Structures are given as structure tokens and as C-alpha cells.
Amino acid sequence: MENEKNEKDQVEIALSELMGDDQTLLGVLNLVKMFKDSGNLEVLEKLLTENMPGNTKAYTSLIDKRELHMGGISLANALVALMASVSGKTSQSVLNVLLYNSEDIWDSMIDGAKQPENFSLLRLMGMLKDPEVAAGLSAVMNALKTLGSLLKKVDTE
């Protein structure tokens, strides 16, 4: 009985905090509206109802696993690093160029794989004179050099 009273008190405190802060309440409502308008709220609801075990102890034991917690922490660290990486103007520009033109990249890769050419040494040397090939090869070589330098510093312990 005492435990239920404490839970009710905590819920009332949380609701009064939420109701007292109009900006937070509006933010939460806007998020729910965006989820609803995009159809993602229904997807999330369906996902939870279909995949959540009826036995809450099974669900709790899954969430309480150390591996899940460590994986979550590692994922959060990786996401922070990704956000830091994408926050730079150069990385944003490169990602935008690659992502918005990815269809062309994939198509050219598939065409090359489906219709491979035999290259002689002279043909390869001729291709290196193409400014676009030279630029792409230089970019890859510079990236490989930097990648090699960075990977030497990785602590594997």
C-alpha cells in the first residue's frame, strides 16, 4: 500500500513538472504528432505489440543483460563520434556529394562488374591521364595513407 502511494506521488510530481513547463509539453506533443503524421507511430505500436513478450520478466531480463548495456554504450559513443564527424563543413559536403549521387556510383560499379574490361599496361597508363580517374585515384590513395596512419594508433587491448 505504501509502495503504491509512493508511485502515485512520483507520477504526480512528474506530471506537474511536465505541465509546468509549456515548452517541454509542446515539444513532446509535436514529436508525437510528427510520429503520427509520418505513420511511424503506427509502425512503432505494431512493432511493440507483435514483438514484446507477454511475460514482462522475459523482457526485463533481456534488457538487463550486461551485453545489451555495453552494446548500447558503445553505440552511443559511436553515434557521438559520427555526429562530431558530420558536424564539419568538409565532411558534410563530401557526404552530401556521395549520398546524393550514390545512384551514379552504384550504376557505374555494377556496369563495370557486369562488363569487365581487360586492361593492358598501356591502357591503364592512358586511363590515368583522364583527370577524373586521376582525381579519384589521388583521393583514394590519400585516404589510404591517412587510414594507415590512423590504424597504426588503434589500441587493440
**Per-residue model confidence as pLDDT tens for the chain (157 residues):** 677 777 777 777 777 776 676 777 778 788 888 878 888 778 777 777 766 656 666 666 666 777 777 888 888 888 888 888 888 899 889 989 999 999 999 999 999 999 998 889 999 999 999 999 999 999 999 999 999 999 999 988 7
Q: Is 111 buried (19+), middle (13-18) or exposed (0-12) by CB count in 10 A?
A: exposed
